[in-house]
Amino acid sequence: MVNSLIKKSSLFLLGFVFFNSITIQAQKSNRIWYKEPASSWEETLPLGNGRLGLTPDSGISTESIVLNDITLWSGQPQDANNYEAHTYLPEIRHLLFKGENDKAEALINAHFICEGAGSGNGNGANVPFGSYQTLGELSINFDYESKMPLAIKNYKRELNIDNALAQCSYELDGTTYTREYFASFDDDISIIKLSADTPGKLNLTINLDRPERYETSTHQNELVMSGQLNNGTDGKGMRYKVKIGAKLKDGKLSTIDNGLKIQDATEVILYISAATDFKNTDFEKSVDKLLKDAEAKSYKDQKARHINNFHKLYKRVSVNLGETSRADLPTDERLDAFTKKPEEDDDLGKLYFQFGRYLSISSTRVGLLPPNLQGLWAQHVQTPWNADYHLDVNVEMNHWALEAANLSELNLPLKDLVAGMVPNGQKTAKAYYDADGWIAHVITNVWGYTAPGEVASWGISNAGSGWVCNNLWQHYAFTEDVDYLKEIYPIIKGSAEFYNSMLVKDPVTGWSVTAPSVSPENSFYLPNGKEAHVCMGPTIDNQIARELFTHVIQASEKLNIDAAFREKIKQKLEQLPPPGIVGEDGRIMEWLRPYKEVDPHHRHLSHLYGLYPANLITPEHTPDLAVAAAKTLEARGDDGPSWSIAYKILFWARLKDGNRAYKLLTDILRPTLDTNMNYGAGGGVYPNLLSAGPPFQIDGNFGATAGIAEMLLQSHAGFIELLPALPDSWKTSGSYNGLKARGGFTINVKWEDGKVTDYKIMSPDQKPVKVKVNGKLIDIVSSKL
């Protein structure tokens, strides 16, 4: 069997030992823990089962738990297209041809933006765009019959990432109190078990509320909260219901004014069932049924099934990046210590990586919604930026780790969201560009929004729909699932049709380019000294069109369809600008003209799209562009909101600079409690390891997770590369099992002193594959998975 893996016998000369499974040395569990209750939401522990979320603060006198349901949005479907917009297109383009971008921008602001309030300037809770909202807050008030201040001993709370379970425990007056929390991957319900090791010591009341639009009631010892959100017009938006039931060991359960009261119990199991009417008219019945089903099972059984289901995804990957003496430090102290001496805690990188995988499994599920800007954890009714799906980097970044991190199916909810945008996107393409196909601009929501935003500066990027098509493609590139390719083909073709029919000839260069567009959220100085955003052919659009056309050509060849369209876009491909143009300063140009950027340290680096997530710029195939990309990154600087830092980890990993990628990983792990909205420097991490833009934005978590994977394994340049960007810090020894590469490969690797010592490349069918190992490119045949 070993021999069948090897095509070139020279491989033996390299001295590799193939093995069936790499034994990862026994490691401590991945957990985050603290010696105090959370004093802010940014310290609470995020739990979720892909639909329901909860963030307990594990308070001693009062436990406050923010509850979430990923479907709970205000707003409603709307048509925000301005159907007159396309009549202004010739004039807008004429002004751009003349270099009068400022005038074109004014015209766009007057006639080429959305109808209505758009995103509500990022505060869309009460306009039709809507906002993702908290489901509410559960409070548990404890009565200890003890003197104040309470003499608490041995307090501890933790999130066990490996089992998707949170716990807290403490002692008071000789009694140990324990709480265990999980969002069940079994019965789709949240469960909290409270216990005391002295009989009858649990005395508490339970309440539910939310900042607005709710009413509570009790029926037969159950607590119910229900309400209807604002749809932005007549107030009759999405409906929701939460129902709490309790099972007791000892003691008495009764109802009080809009709450539950429990006296003298030894153990209490709380079941929190919730649903909305998003694509579920029978949601009230589902709430009741889920509660009944869960209560019918033993706690032990429910918990075992929960862990088992979670493990089906989580356990596919194990990683060891090195030693630490700090695994036993409380996480807040560990983060502080890491900032001072990162080299003593290589294990934190692994923890952050597995935490990212944990967050993906917890915040999305097949058949539902993709993680939004906050995953599924939100504490407000007006969540920052509506916690929408930003298409100019954020929602794409939320999915970048999934394939390599062996959670491939969690990409499917994004595919579903995108499929749902297409019909609106077709109307938008006609309304604004009189174009075929479909387009989405910068923001979308669960209601399928595709119109531009409310101002030109950020709202009219043409890149959104093409960019998500990259995500859709990556799932195919990794899985080679032809049925899936058939399913996405009309979507990616429709996006290519849009670019194909709207590109115009730039009078200066003769290239076919988008017009009007922007380089996401960035501005520049025109030769007349005025600031503008609007332009033709920003580099990202050129790269996206090039990549998308190439993918559609490949897909139509693979599926053997659409030969005529394929020929059309093959010709169009010839007319596109090159994947990158190096300016006089040695950097990749962000715009078609050598404009000077207003903010040289701007957070977005859209003109490096070709480096990541696309593969248009690689050190192997386009060395000059790779050098220019490095220069671009140097000029932009390392800092930014956390998603921007995460993106830079990925860029430097692709440039094979492991130490720089690692330095950025240390930057993104800078502890902070800042929640003020940030567009500049200062990204970091909250005590609970959620990423701080600030405020909390989950793309920083997912982007960094993808970045770590990219440091360990790459497969975008026509071959698999093992340890392409291993930083000095992780060199001593390490291993991983179960990471994925394009082509359907599963990979195990072990290393010592920065050199691969063992590896295994597996696929369902054995097939030839090119692999770069310790700097040498070799041909092998994969082993059977």
Query: Rule CB under 6 A: which residues touch ligand FUC?
Result: 373, 385, 390, 394, 521, 603-604, 641, 643, 679, 693, 697
In the complex with ligand FUC, which residue's Cβ is closer, 682 or 744?
Answer: 682
In the complex with ligand FUC, which residue's Cβ is closer, 207 or 691?
Answer: 691
Shortest distance in whole angstroms from residue 109 CB to ligand FUC: 18
β partners of residue 192:
181, 270
Task: Give the burial class of 596: count Cβ atoms within 10 A of its Cβ; 0-12 exposed, 13-18 middle, 19 or more buried.
Answer: exposed
Shortest distance in whole angstroms from residue 604 CB to ligand FUC: 6
Shortest distance in whole angstroms from residue 693 CB to ligand FUC: 6
Q: Are 363 and 691 in contact (CB under 8 A)?
A: no
Of 737, 642, 647, nearest to 692 (Cα)?
Answer: 642
In the complex with ligand FUC, which residue's Cβ is closer, 31 or 533?
Answer: 533
In the complex with ligand FUC, which residue's Cβ is closer, 132 or 314?
Answer: 132
Shortest distance in whole angstroms from residue 387 CB to ligand FUC: 9
In the complex with ligand FUC, which residue's Cβ is closer, 373 or 713?
Answer: 373
Instruction: DSSP for 117-152, please give it.
Output: TTTSTT--TTSTT--B---EEEEEEE----PSSP--
The H-or-E segment that residue 419 falls in is helix 412-433
Shortest distance in whole angstroms from residue 192 CB to ligand FUC: 32
Shortest distance in whole angstroms from residue 457 CB to ligand FUC: 11
Beta strands in 312-446, from DSSP E residues, in sequence order: 318-320, 389-390, 443-444
Residues composing the chain: 785
What is the Cα–Cα distance from 244 to 36, expressed in whole angstroms?
Answer: 27
The rounded Cα 566 to chain-centroid distance in angstroms is: 33
β partners of residue 779:
770
Shortest distance in whole angstroms from residue 60 CB to ligand FUC: 35
What is the Cα–Cα distance from 512 to 625, expressed in whole angstroms?
Answer: 21
Query: How many CB atoms are located within 10 Å of the residue 297 CB?
Result: 14
Shortest distance in whole angstroms from residue 393 CB to ligand FUC: 7
Shortest distance in whole angstroms from residue 26 CB to ligand FUC: 39
Q: Which residue has tokens 């309470």?
A: 150
For residues 152-168, b (16+ Cβ closer than 10 Å) or e, as one string? beebebbbbbbbbbbbb
The rounded Cα 392 to chain-centroid distance in angstroms is: 13
In the complex with ligand FUC, which residue's Cβ is closer, 623 or 680?
Answer: 680
What is the Cα–Cα distance from 662 to 109, expressed in whole angstroms?
Answer: 42
Q: Which two tokens stand for residue 486?
A: 């058939």
In the complex with ligand FUC, which residue's Cβ is closer, 54 or 646?
Answer: 646
In the complex with ligand FUC, which residue's Cβ is closer, 496 or 704?
Answer: 704
In the complex with ligand FUC, which residue's Cβ is closer, 37 or 693?
Answer: 693
Q: Are 158 and 169 in contact (CB under 8 A)?
A: no
Shortest distance in whole angstroms from residue 369 CB to ligand FUC: 17
Q: Are 244 and 208 in contact (CB under 8 A)?
A: yes
Shortest distance in whole angstroms from residue 354 CB to ligand FUC: 24
In the complex with ligand FUC, which residue's Cβ is closer, 603 or 656?
Answer: 603
What is the Cα–Cα distance from 277 to 83, expressed in whole angstroms?
Answer: 31
Q: Which two tokens stand for residue 288?
A: 């009741």
Shortest distance in whole angstroms from residue 544 CB to ligand FUC: 17
Q: Which residues contact 678 (CB under 8 A, 6 or more apart)?
A: 641, 693, 694, 695
In the complex with ligand FUC, which residue's Cβ is closer, 359 or 361?
Answer: 359
Reduced 3-state DSSP string for 264-324: EECEEEEEEEEEECCCCCCHHHHHHHHHHHHHHCCHHHHHHHHHHHHHHHHCCCEEECCCE
In the complex with ligand FUC, which residue's Cβ is closer, 305 or 380?
Answer: 380
Q: Which residues contact 227 (CB under 8 A, 6 or more apart)?
A: 210, 213, 214, 215, 239, 240
Shortest distance in whole angstroms from residue 752 CB to ligand FUC: 40
Query: How many CB atoms are located within 10 Å of the residue 639 CB?
Result: 17
Of 418, 382, 570, 389, nearest to 491 (Cα)?
Answer: 418
In the complex with ligand FUC, which residue's Cβ is closer, 120 or 245?
Answer: 120
What is the Cα–Cα distance from 287 to 208, expressed in whole angstroms?
Answer: 16
In the complex with ligand FUC, which residue's Cβ is closer, 310 or 643?
Answer: 643
Q: Which two tokens stand for residue 196?
A: 């005391």
Number of H helices, E strands in the chain: 18, 36
Shortest distance in whole angstroms from residue 131 CB to ligand FUC: 13
Q: Are 514 and 600 in contact (CB under 8 A)?
A: no
Q: Which residue has tokens 């062996």?
A: 406
In the complex with ligand FUC, which residue's Cβ is closer, 384 or 577?
Answer: 384
Shortest distance in whole angstroms from residue 469 CB to ligand FUC: 19
Give the nearest residue (CB) to ligand FUC.
385
Q: Are 684 and 695 in contact (CB under 8 A)?
A: no
In the complex with ligand FUC, which residue's Cβ is closer, 672 or 732?
Answer: 672
Shortest distance in whole angstroms from residue 716 CB to ligand FUC: 25
Shortest distance in whole angstroms from residue 127 CB to ligand FUC: 17
Helix, coil or strand: residue 641: coil
In the complex with ligand FUC, which residue's Cβ is closer, 47 or 373?
Answer: 373
Q: CA dist 481 to 312, 555, 615, Å? A: 21, 12, 20
Helix, coil or strand: residue 255: strand
Q: Are 603 and 683 in contact (CB under 8 A)?
A: no
Helix, coil or strand: residue 460: coil
In the complex with ligand FUC, which residue's Cβ is closer, 207 or 445?
Answer: 445
Helix, coil or strand: residue 279: coil
> Beta strand pairing status for 239-249 and 252-256?
unpaired
Classify the C-alpha dihedral 566-569-574-576 as positive or negative: negative
Shortest distance in whole angstroms from residue 512 CB to ligand FUC: 28
β partners of residue 268:
194, 248
